[in-house]
Structure 1
Amino acid sequence: MKAPEIARRRIRNSRLTGDGFGSADEVVRWHLAMQAQDYGPATWSIGQRSTGLRSDDLDEALASGSIVRTHVLRPTWHFVARDDIRWLLALSGPRVQQGNAGRYRELGLDERTRARAAKVIVSALEAGTVSRGRSSVRCWTTPTSTEPGSGCPTS
């Protein structure tokens, strides 16, 4: 197979040509995971593969949880469908956590501190939607360890 044919097939299989999907979660499910490090271009990538999708539709998909923005595959943001998140975490979680171990040590975040920080974040989320900045404030104002300056890891 020659390069032009490979390129045509990749474009078609990426759904950049042909019929577009009707919803953001259909696009994300087709691709399994879509890199979402830069939010604007990531939403545009979904829009390119859909028909009639507006940015409000993607915001709604994220707000409703049908699409999740997460670090499921590596420390890079990805969009994944809600129905795929658990098995993807089971598959990739141990490797991602292994990769994070050095950073945890560098920050002095032992298992106990991370577990307590997770409880603070879960508690905040149970009360409603919380931005990353707001969760960070909650962590820094809720003791998670006896060490000075301890707080929830958010990076």
Structure 2
Amino acid sequence: MTATKRTAPLADLAHVPWPEIKDSTGSAAAIPFLLATLARGDTDSADSALRQLRRRICQFGFVVEEATAATVPFLWELVRLPEVTCRADILRLLKSIADARQWETTAVAYPKLLHHPDNYVAWERAARHAVRAQRDVLRQLLAEPDTEIQRATTELAAALTDRPQG
């Protein structure tokens, strides 16, 4: 009998050049540690790591950074793991990222922002795209018995519905 080999959580973290990309603090080099803490941490450690991660990739709940899009696939990976203690909060973070339009809205009034060396608008669009790319996971999460996860999943699904941009 052959056992099915399960890939370790966050196995692809090393494939991202974290020190070379930016989060709200500068280098995004700490993000792998925070994600790993979410994956294996107790509730208090995971909650603390998620607060720090939120400040780094979606500051104030609406300002995304260069590292945001690279982080999103790992958030989706974590939200699928039943042992992760803060999955509903991760879903809320994904919703904040999906809703983020700070830079895009500002660029309408200040088009020069589109030519800034740090391409904030592109970062924001890439982050939203990364959230949308794995929205097929929502159906699985809606079937979870945990009502908090169901509620957070429903809110994220609503944010991902196609709506007129304006």
Tell me the TM-score normalized by structure 1: 0.28
Higher relative contact order (CA 8 A, sep 6+): 2
Greater percentage in strand: 1
Greater percentage in helix: 2
Larger radius of gyration between Structure 1 and Structure 2: 1
